[in-house]
Homo-oligomer: A and B are copies of this chain.
């Protein structure tokens, strides 16, 4: 496994890789969720490139850019063991040199949910992933369903801009108690960690209601909110029941629906989701 920093080195090493090439974009501090993306990429592609870049342009001024967890040595060990062929670790100066001024924006699908609470977040994500796509030139790129809206934005961008790249979305990987794997979970203290299981518990409660025939989106949201309300450390920012592709909020669940939420556990903001009816 080679690891490189500059774009020039990346392009040189990329040329040597047999195709098809899979890309797994990450912000580092890897966990079992990332490793499942790596496994999928390895199963579908002859070579796997992983990028590690905590992308400053997708963090808001009040967000956790500076405290975002990092452990490069551990990441590289995990990637080597996981079978990655090439790791790109650009610095912010490599990605955004002086005079940088080009942005990729996706309109409708970035407006609700995370986009409504995190202005410019998806502009930063779309821009950096467009750069990763052009730099690595993969045949496939692997994203996690945990960031469901991000996965939709990536699909939309790749399709709209005619990137010759297949966007593959992989299932959420969970801890034994249901907590979705996230680099931010490390910020939870033991009590918060226990409380964080309430996200998945509330999604499961809503799924059970759905499976028992409930189709009112507002009642499904309420089932999740009621379950979250039983956990004093959980402070929901939103609970959404939306059409699975457009992310428009639903009245009635008729086709596939994304039930998603953002919840503060202490100072840590967690997101999670399930898809109903697919």
Instruction: Show the binding face of A for B, using Cβ within 8 Å.
Output: 7, 11, 99-109, 126-127, 130-131, 134-135, 137, 156-157, 160-164
Contact = CB atoms under 8 A, between A and B. Distances in A.
A134 B127 CA distance: 15
16 contacts: A99-B108, A101-B106, A101-B107, A101-B109, A102-B104, A102-B106, A102-B157, A102-B160, A103-B105, A104-B104, A104-B161, A105-B105, A131-B160, A131-B161, A135-B164, A137-B164
Contacts of A164: 11, 134-135, 137
B163 A134 contact: yes
B108 A134 contact: no
Nearest to A132: B162
A160 B102 CA distance: 6
A134 B162 contact: yes
Contacts of A130: 161
Contact of A134 (B103, B105, B161): B161
A87 B159 CA distance: 22
B156 A102 contact: yes
Report the 4 A-B pairs with minimum CB-CB distance, sorted nearest first: A102-B160, A101-B107, A134-B162, A135-B162
Nearest to A123: B105
A162 B107 contact: no
A101 B160 contact: yes
B101 A108 contact: yes
Nearest to A95: B162
Nearest to A10: B162
Contacts of A7: 162
A105, A134, A157: most-surrounded residue (chain B CB, <10 A): A134
A104 B101 contact: no
B161 A102 contact: yes
A137, A161, A163: most-surrounded residue (chain B CB, <10 A): A161
Contacts of A99: 108
Contact of A105 (B102, B108, B131, B161): B102
Contacts of A100: 160
A125 to B, nearest CB: 12
Nearest to A160: B102
A164 B164 CA distance: 14
Contacts of A11: 164
Contact of A107 (B103, B126, B131): B103
Contacts of A108: 99, 101
Given A11-B164, A102-B105, A102-B161, 20 more contacts: A7-B162, A101-B106, A101-B108, A101-B109, A101-B156, A102-B156, A102-B157, A102-B160, A103-B104, A103-B106, A103-B107, A104-B104, A104-B161, A105-B105, A130-B161, A131-B160, A131-B162, A134-B161, A135-B162, A137-B164
